[in-house]
Amino acid sequence: MENKTNLEVALKAAVKAGEKILEIYNDPNSDFSVEKKADNSPLTIADKISHTTIQHFLSDTEFPVLSEEGRSIEYPERKDWQNFWIVDPLDGTKEFIKKNGEFTVNIALAKNGKPVLGVIYVPVSKTLYFGNIGLGAFICENVSGEITFDSVLRKSEKLPKPKTTEKYFVVGSRSHMSPETEEYIDALKQKHAEIDIISKGSSLKICMVAEGIADEYPRFGPTMEWDTAAGHAIANAAGKKLWLTDLSEELAYNKENLLNPYFIVK
């Protein structure tokens, strides 16, 4: 199992950052009509306070941080990083602005280009996903306040959950599917008698596969490394993979270009 201390730090950081985001999200004075990139928008304020909160926790570890808020770190500075955190302080911009609750805090620890530890916290539902290869993957409900690794683990459920139906579930958008995704799902329909589409926001799409609710998630659209790293680690701990679309290998991290290629989670 990955160092328990690192996992505990990531758990605490994600929950505390999520609580800070929730204060802004639930503040009756927050104006969600403000343009999303404006410095005084609720989204921007929440993003920055989450980033600062997570940095406070992770600064106690020995590893550098690659974050969406700190994306300006040049490749020559980070190319030799062997161990590093990958953070998305607030994943799910559209979901945050729509106020549908499907946004997350994502924290991963990567070693030699592979995410080995992942934590995803859903502030609105207070749901926590976490895992690494040695420990496994877990979901814990109603998580808030002061926590420890042991207190969370005691009330967690191991993932994936047993499959209870023959129906084949695919994560995607019901209304805005790309042509590549439509083509991919049409091919799946030739293999499976009944397919249903699950629509989710942010990194929760990967969590649906790790949890066993969905069978796969094809992503034929742009994502960045911080969008997928935490979910990737959790999926791996649940026995799933984030494959390149030709199924030859999994996604790699700390690339010179931080944009991910298209991928399939299954």
Check if 4-158 and 168-265 are the same fold: no
pLDDT in tens, 187-219: 999 999 889 999 999 999 999 999 999 999 999
Which pTM was predicted?
A: 0.96
Q: Where are the domains of the chain?
A: 4-158, 168-265
pLDDT tens by residue, 114-129: 999 999 999 999 999 9
The structural architecture, per CATH, of the domain 168-265 is 3-Layer(aba) Sandwich (3.40)
Q: Which residues are annotated as a binding site for Mg(2+)?
A: 68, 88, 90-91, 227
The architecture CATH gives domain 4-158: 2-Layer Sandwich (3.30)
Q: Which two tokens stand for residue 83?
A: 């161990």
Amino acid at 233: A
What are the residue ranges of helices labelled H in the chain? 4-25, 42-58, 75-78, 93-98, 149-154, 179-189, 204-211, 225-237
Binding residues: 68, 88, 90-93, 227
In the chain, the percentage of residues whose pLDDT exceeds 70 is 98
Rg (CA), the chain: 18
The binding site for substrate consists of 68, 90-93, 227
Instruction: Find, among 51, 96, 110, 64, the residue nearest to 228 by Cα.
Output: 110
Burial class from Cβ neighbours inside 10 Å (0-12, 13-18, 19+) for residue 145 reads exposed
